């Protein structure tokens, strides 16, 4: 990884960084269906991706992506809740078939169609429960432009490595706001190197050996081995089964896949201050307010630490351990039901956890440290 | 392993047309000289979909009614035209997935669809589908379906499919399937059957040919002379970062502390572009900036508001509650930002002289901004703000406008003249 030496300031939005980051990482196809606030991603992808197809609806979007993925491509789409809701059955299919792809979910205010041009962070409870059976697929969440670049490219490589759909979670305010930014700060991105199955032993579409958690991939265009992809309960060969031991073992492996690989994609920002007894936790768009809140508090002599989770699902244990070290923890997110706190603690949120929420407007730095009376 | 079928013992009820379709499809593929791994069979939910395990081809078993869309995705991704994408779907799947069939036909994708039309949902208990003919009895319309079924062949033909055909699922249908499978482009063959478990029992003494005739449909072939969709190779790809214009710092720094601006006017009056030009110009003096727009979903009418932050330091949080500066150029803009302006306890409000001034603690500056024309009023107001406060160098704004190519689209010399008289 090299940084270029020349400063290059531009006025840029997160959509552009996400699209370019994914393309450089090896995403080669974009299937689009318009929805605010994800439209800039669609626009940029139409200029950037080697293949761009306009789908007639979001179910088709996911089906076309799955078909392309089955032929060895790395497809991407971008949507927001109303479109994502239509995709969910097909995301389950791609998860079950173990097809790599990335879905950028740009959050906006719900419920239902809510407000298309108003940001929000209301979708992690949905993402946690979207796979029938309670399985989880990786969800990475951007908190600044650097994340738009690095996490988008990591989403692509992760999808390929784990043979899975990956969700890159962001929000309206991150992808539609232009900011001055120095492009030379971006690390270079190498395209993912995909290794397809090349053994002379017969191929099983869902066969894993030793400590493998994701089966090797072969596209359905191969002339060497039969490939079987299946959205229904299936054995190692991809043949539909009711519930025999081999098929259930496959279903169980799917549940373990993301969790057991979590170390390879646990990302968070931890800015701890010596002697601090208060920790601010915030992710996504609210992390920018949290960074300002912590900076201002420190400028007034307060000792405060900051945790910005970027890997949202599966949830790394690290977060609970870090929070456990503090007398007071403030979790700030732009929803009114403390979805992240619920993800970490369930319904039994400890008494030392304070949550700050909002609907229809960004949480400000002063709202985060309101009780601290220091910003 | 050159035979398409692994076994001739197929998992279908006695007398089911699916058995015939599977065997004759296999025969047709073999007659065309296709090896099993040249073929990708895409199936979905329904009795037709349990054929997978009996096939030596690649198999993809997806969601109910989505097999045509899934097969379309595979077709898009296949570069070798000799590979065959063959989709099996039922009449129920064709109902829920009708849009996918229409889309693949419209695009004339290189794939073949075989609709197993036994006129009801067999796997789930014999319910009525969108392809069930009027008068046909099912477990959910035991006095006969009151609705006419879709004519799937007419629909695909109208949508642009290269080939649509309807055949009776009796006897040797190999030749008919060979013809459909040979098509380059989208081919759909609807095979008429009666489900032995539900259809035969609920419609005693009715013959398949008579049912088809009474529904007003015929067997036949319908063609469109069209070339199959071929993915364009070598699509131009633009590097999204390289194409961005870098902003050099070519003006002295003037900003000492953070400043937030709300700029509000009417949609179509250049609010967002004026804000972007201001932000870009400020960058030339080393400012860190953010800029975002807010407007109703219908982008061409109503208000348009831009929020701009300028700072000597990198900016994290970019939200603006009550701004330091408000620039208002129309009644739409005033209505949208009135509450914020009323909340201002200090700062400056630049407002067109035609508008009623809201109650505010900000210093009010009224000017004839709209005299520059509706589409340039905001630009004029932004330059006026820059000139009167000195926060952004007006020369840097002029230079940014000229470099952007927008100078010809606004009465820049007129604006300069008005600004020049300020002192």
Give tens-digit pLDDT for B371-417. 999 999 999 999 999 999 999 999 999 999 999 988 888 888 889 98
Q: Is B24 on the interface with A (CB under 8 A)?
A: no
Identify which of A8, A63, B128, B79 has the alpha carbon closest to the alpha carbon of residue B136.
B128
**Whether residue A215 is found in the same domain as residue A273:** no
Task: Report the C-alpha gap between B346 and B323 in whole angstroms.
Answer: 9
Provide the 3-class DSSP secondary structure of residue A139: strand
Q: What is Dmax (Cα atoms) for chain B? A: 99
DSSP string, A41-88: HHHHHHHHSSEEEE-SSHHHHHHHHHHHHHTT--EEEEE-HHHHHHHH
Contacts of B378 (CB under 8 A, 6+ apart): B263, B265, B269, B270, B271, B274, B327, B329, B369
**Whether residue A29 is found in the same domain as residue A120:** yes
User: Within a domain: residue A101?
Assistant: yes
pLDDT for residue A370? 84
Residues of A in contact with B66 (CB under 8 A): 59, 63, 90, 93
B67: part of which helix (H) or strand (E)? helix B67-77
Task: Report the C-alpha gap between A354 and B77 in whole angstroms.
Answer: 50
Q: Is A43 on the interface with B (CB under 8 A)?
A: no
Poorest-confidence range of A114-123, A365-374, B39-48, B338-347?
A: A365-374
Residues of B in contact with A297 (CB under 8 A): none
Chain B residue with minimum CA distance to A242 = B50
Average pLDDT taken over every residue of chain A: 96
A301: left (phi over 0), alpha (psi -120 to 50) or beta: left
Please report which confidence band the pLDDT of residue B1 belongs to, taking 50, 70 and 90 as the band edges: low
User: What sign results for the dihedral spanned by CA atoms B215, B218, B219, B220?
Assistant: negative
**Whether residue A299 is found in the same domain as residue A230:** no
pLDDT for residue B233? 75
pLDDT for residue B299? 67
Task: Report the C-alpha gap between B203 and B201 in whole angstroms.
Answer: 6
User: Within a domain: residue A284?
Assistant: yes
Domain-ending residue, one of A215, A250, A265:
A265
Whether A240 contacts A233, CB under 8 Å: yes
Task: Report the C-alpha gap between A27 and A166 in whole angstroms.
Answer: 12
Whether B118 contacts B91, CB under 8 Å: yes
pLDDT for residue A374? 60
How close is the nearest chain A Cα to the Cα of B44, in Å? 9
Q: Are the Cβ atoms of B244 and A10 closer than 8 angstroms?
A: yes
**Token pair belonging to B107:** 């695009």
**Token pair belonging to A353:** 């956890």
pLDDT digits (tens, 9 = 90+) for B169-216: 999 999 999 999 999 999 999 999 999 999 999 999 999 999 999 999
pLDDT for residue A3? 43
**Whether residue A71 is found in the same domain as residue A195:** yes
* DSSP assigned state of A337: S
Q: Which CATH number goes with the domain that contains A35? A: 3.40.50.970
Q: Are the Cβ atoms of A48 and B237 closer than 8 angstroms?
A: yes
Domain-ending residue, one of A265, A291, A320:
A265
pLDDT digits (tens, 9 = 90+) for A8-49: 999 999 999 999 999 999 999 999 999 999 999 999 999 999
pLDDT for residue B423? 56
**Whether residue A231 is found in the same domain as residue A292:** no
CA atoms within 13 A on the CB side of A310: 21
B401: part of which helix (H) or strand (E)? helix B394-404
- Residues in a beta bridge with B307: B262, B292
* DSSP assigned state of A120: -
The bridge status of strand B58-61 relative to strand A228-230 is parallel
User: Measured in whole angstroms, how far is the alpha carbon of residue B327 from the centre of its chain?
Assistant: 36
Task: Report the C-alpha gap between B249 and A99 in whole angstroms.
Answer: 47
Number of structural domains, chain A?
A: 2
Q: What CA–CA distances, in Å, run from B69 to A164, A267, B103?
A: 19, 35, 8
CB atoms within 10 A of CB B142: 10
- Look-up of token digits 């949507």: A79
Domain-ending residue, one of A206, A236, A265:
A265
Whether B64 contacts B46, CB under 8 Å: yes
Contacts of B313 (CB under 8 A, 6+ apart): B258, B288
Q: Are the Cβ atoms of A227 and B58 closer than 8 angstroms?
A: yes
Q: Is B283 on the interface with A (CB under 8 A)?
A: yes
Among A63, A172, A222, pick the best mutation site for testing chain B contact (most B Cβ within 10 A): A63
Contacts of A252 (CB under 8 A, 6+ apart): none
SS3 content of chain A, % helix, strand, coil (to 5): 35, 20, 45
- For chain A positions 104-133, those within 8 Å of chain B (CB to CB) are 116-117
Among A56, A60, A88, A296, pick the best mutation site for testing chain B contact (most B Cβ within 10 A): A60
Task: Report the C-alpha gap between B327 and B351 in whole angstroms.
Answer: 6
**Whether residue A124 is found in the same domain as residue A244:** yes
* C-alpha angle A106-B240-B316 in degrees, rounded to nearest 5: 50
Q: Is B58 on the interface with A (CB under 8 A)?
A: yes
pLDDT digits (tens, 9 = 90+) for A289-316: 999 999 999 999 999 999 999 999 999 9
Q: Which domain holds residue A338?
A: 268-368
User: Within a domain: residue A62?
Assistant: yes
pLDDT digits (tens, 9 = 90+) for B116-154: 999 999 999 999 999 999 999 999 999 999 999 999 999
Provide the 3-class DSSP secondary structure of residue B267: coil
User: Within a domain: residue A299?
Assistant: yes
The bridge status of strand A353-356 relative to strand A328-332 is parallel
- Look-up of token digits 């901004």: B369
Residues of B in contact with A291 (CB under 8 A): 316-317
Contacts of B311 (CB under 8 A, 6+ apart): B255, B257, B258, B259, B287, B288, B289
Chain A residue with minimum CA distance to B36 = A226
The bridge status of strand A311-313 relative to strand A139-141 is antiparallel
User: Within a domain: residue A14?
Assistant: yes
- Look-up of token digits 């190498």: A190
Please report which confidence band the pLDDT of residue A287 belongs to, taking 50, 70 and 90 as the band edges: very high
**Nearest CB to A67 within list B70, B79, B295:** B70
User: Within a domain: residue A111?
Assistant: yes
pLDDT for residue B67? 98
**Whether residue A186 is found in the same domain as residue A77:** yes
**Whether residue A202 is found in the same domain as residue A319:** no
Q: Which CATH number goes with the domain that contains A317? A: 3.40.50.920
Please report which confidence band the pLDDT of residue A5 belongs to, taking 50, 70 and 90 as the band edges: low
pLDDT for residue A171? 97
Task: Report the C-alpha gap between B235 and B61 in whole angstroms.
Answer: 31
User: Within a domain: residue A374?
Assistant: no
**Nearest CB to B61 within list A178, A232, A288:** A232
Domains of chain B: 17-223 (3.40.50.970), 259-420 (3.40.920.10)
- What mean pLDDT do residues B86-112 have? 98
Length of chain A as a residue count: 375
Identify which of B288, B41, B117, B13 has the alpha carbon closest to the alpha carbon of residue A227.
B41
**Token pair belonging to A33:** 């269906």
Q: Where are the alpha helices (DSSP H) in A232-338?
A: 245-260, 286-299, 318-323
pLDDT digits (tens, 9 = 90+) for A222-265: 999 999 999 999 999 999 999 999 999 999 999 999 999 999 99
**Token pair belonging to A121:** 């962070």
Percent of chain A exceeding pLDDT 90 equals: 96
- Look-up of token digits 């979909």: B49
- For chain B positions 165-204, those within 8 Å of chain A (CB to CB) are none
Q: What CA–CA distances, in Å, run from A189 to A3, A16, B4?
A: 11, 15, 44
Contacts of B37 (CB under 8 A, 6+ apart): A222, A223, A224, A225, A226, B57, B58
Identify which of A133, A92, A98, A90 has the alpha carbon closest to the alpha carbon of residue A207.
A98
Provide the 3-class DSSP secondary structure of residue B41: strand
Q: Is A171 on the interface with B (CB under 8 A)?
A: no
Q: Across the beta sheet with A139-141, what order do the strands follow? A: A51-54, A29-32, A75-79, A101-107, A165-171, A139-141, A311-313
B112: part of which helix (H) or strand (E)? strand B111-117
Task: Report the C-alpha gap between A277 and A323 in whole angstroms.
Answer: 10
Q: Where are the alpha helices (DSSP H) in B188-330?
A: 199-202, 208-214, 271-283
**Whether residue A224 is found in the same domain as residue A359:** no
Q: Are the Cβ atoms of A63 and B241 closer than 8 angstroms?
A: no
Task: Report the C-alpha gap between B384 and B334 in whole angstroms.
Answer: 18
**Whether residue A214 is found in the same domain as residue A278:** no
Chain A residue with minimum CA distance to B232 = A51
**Whether residue A187 is found in the same domain as residue A204:** yes
pLDDT at A2 over 70: no
Residues of B in contact with A69 (CB under 8 A): 73
Gap between the terminal Cα atoms of chain B: 90
**Nearest CB to A93 within list B56, B62, B240:** B62
Q: Number of helices and strands (H, E) in chain A?
A: 12, 15
How close is the nearest chain A Cα to the Cα of B273, in Å? 12
**Token pair belonging to B140:** 């959910």
**Whether residue A301 is found in the same domain as residue A229:** no
Q: Are the Cβ atoms of B72 and A63 closer than 8 angstroms?
A: yes
Q: Is A173 on the interface with B (CB under 8 A)?
A: yes
Count Cβ neighbours within 10 Å for each residue of A243-282 and write b for 16 or more, e otherwise: eeeebeebeebbeebbeebbeebbbbbebebeebebbbbb
- By the 10 Å C-beta count (0-12 exposed, 13-18 middle, 19+ buried), B216 is classed as exposed
């Amino acid at each position: 990884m090299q940084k270029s030496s020349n400063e290059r300031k531009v006025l840029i939005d997160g959509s552009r960084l996400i699209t370019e980051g994914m393309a450089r990482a090896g995403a080669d196809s974009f299937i689009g269906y318009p929805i605010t606030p994800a439209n800039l991603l669609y626009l940029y992808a139409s200029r950037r991706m080697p293949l761009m197809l306009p789908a007639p609806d979001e179910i088709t979007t996911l089906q076309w992506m799955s078909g392309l993925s089955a032929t060895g491509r790395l497809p991407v789409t971008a949507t927001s809740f109303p479109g994502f809701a239509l995709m969910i059955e097909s995301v389950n299919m791609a998860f079950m078939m173990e097809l790599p792809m990335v879905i950028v979910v740009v959050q906006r205010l719900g419920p239902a169609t809510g407000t298309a041009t108003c940001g929000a962070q209301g979708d992690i409870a949905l993402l946690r429960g979207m796979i029938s059976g309670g399985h989880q697929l990786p969800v990475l969440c951007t908190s600044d432009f650097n994340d738009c670049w690095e996490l988008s490219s990591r989403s692509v490589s992760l999808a390929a490595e784990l043979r899975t759909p990956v969700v890159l979670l962001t929000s309206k305010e991150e992808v539609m706001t232009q900011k001055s930014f120095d492009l030379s700060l971006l690390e270079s991105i190498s395209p993912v190197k995909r290794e397809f199955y090349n053994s002379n032993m017969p191929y099983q579409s869902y066969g894993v050996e030793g400590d493998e958690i994701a089966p090797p991939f072969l596209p359905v265009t191969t002339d060497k081995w039969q490939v079987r992809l299946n959205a229904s309960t299936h054995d190692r060969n991809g043949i539909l089964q009711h519930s025999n031991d081999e098929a259930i073992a496959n279903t169980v492996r799917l549940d373990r896949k993301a969790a057991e690989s979590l170390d390879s994609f646990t990302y968070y920002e931890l800015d701890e201050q010596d002697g601090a007894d208060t920790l601010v936790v915030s992710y996504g768009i609210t992390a920018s307010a949290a960074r300002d809140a912590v900076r201002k508090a420190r400028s007034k002599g307060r000792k405060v630490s900051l945790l910005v989770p970027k890997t949202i699902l599966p949830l790394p244990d690290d977060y609970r351990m870090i929070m456990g070290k503090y007398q007071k923890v403030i979790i700030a997110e732009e929803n009114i039901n403390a979805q992240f706190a619920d993800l970490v603690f369930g319904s039994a949120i400890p008494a030392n956890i304070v949550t700050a929420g909002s609907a229809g407007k960004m949480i400000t730095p002063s709202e985060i440290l309101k009780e601290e009376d220091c910003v | 392993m050159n035979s398409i079928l692994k076994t001739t013992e197929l998992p279908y009820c006695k007398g089911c047309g699916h058995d015939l379709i599977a065997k004759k499809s296999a025969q047709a593929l073999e007659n065309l000289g296709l090896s099993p791994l040249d073929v990708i069979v895409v199936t979905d939910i329904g009795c037709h979909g349990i054929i997978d395990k009996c096939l030596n081809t690649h198999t993809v078993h997806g969601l109910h009614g989505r097999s045509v869309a899934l097969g379309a995705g595979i077709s898009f991704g296949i570069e070798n035209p000799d590979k065959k994408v063959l989709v099996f779907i039922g009449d129920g799947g064709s109902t829920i997935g009708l849009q996918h069939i229409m889309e693949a036909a419209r695009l004339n994708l290189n794939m073949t669809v075989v609709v197993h039309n036994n006129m009801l949902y067999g796997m789930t208990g014999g319910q009525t589908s969108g392809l069930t003919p009027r008068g046909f009895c099912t477990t959910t319309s035991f006095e006969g379906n009151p609705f006419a079924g879709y004519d799937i062949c007419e629909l695909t033909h109208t949508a642009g499919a290269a080939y649509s055909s309807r055949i009776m699922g009796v006897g040797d249908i190999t030749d008919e399937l060979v013809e459909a499978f040979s098509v380059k482009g989208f081919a759909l063959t609807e095979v008429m059957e009666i489900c032995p478990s539900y259809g035969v029992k609920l419609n005693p003494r009715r013959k398949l040919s008579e049912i088809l005739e009474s529904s007003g449909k015929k067997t036949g072939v319908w063609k469109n002379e069209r070339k199959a969709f071929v993915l364009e190779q070598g699509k131009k790809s633009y590097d999204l970062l390289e194409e961005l214009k870098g902003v050099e710092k070519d003006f002295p720094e003037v900003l000492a502390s953070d400043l937030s601006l709300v700029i509000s006017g009417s949609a179509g009056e250049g609010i967002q572009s004026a804000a972007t030009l201001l932000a870009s110009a400020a960058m030339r003096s080393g400012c860190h900036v953010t800029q975002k727009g807010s407007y109703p979903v219908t982008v061409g009418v109503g208000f348009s508001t831009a929020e701009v932050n300028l700072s000597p330091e990198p900016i994290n949080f970019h939200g603006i509650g009550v701004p330091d500066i408000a620039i208002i150029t129309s009644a739409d803009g005033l209505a949208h930002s009135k509450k914020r302006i009323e909340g201002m306890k200090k700062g400056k409000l630049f407002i067109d002289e035609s508008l009623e001034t809201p109650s505010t603690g900000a210093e009010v500056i009224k000017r004839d901004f709209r005299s520059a024309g509706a589409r340039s009023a905001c630009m004029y107001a932004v330059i006026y703000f820059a000139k009167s406060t000195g926060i952004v160098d007006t020369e840097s704004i002029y230079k940014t406008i000229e470099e952007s190519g927008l100078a010809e689209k606004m009465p820049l010399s007129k604006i300069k003249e008005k600004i020049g008289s300020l002192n």
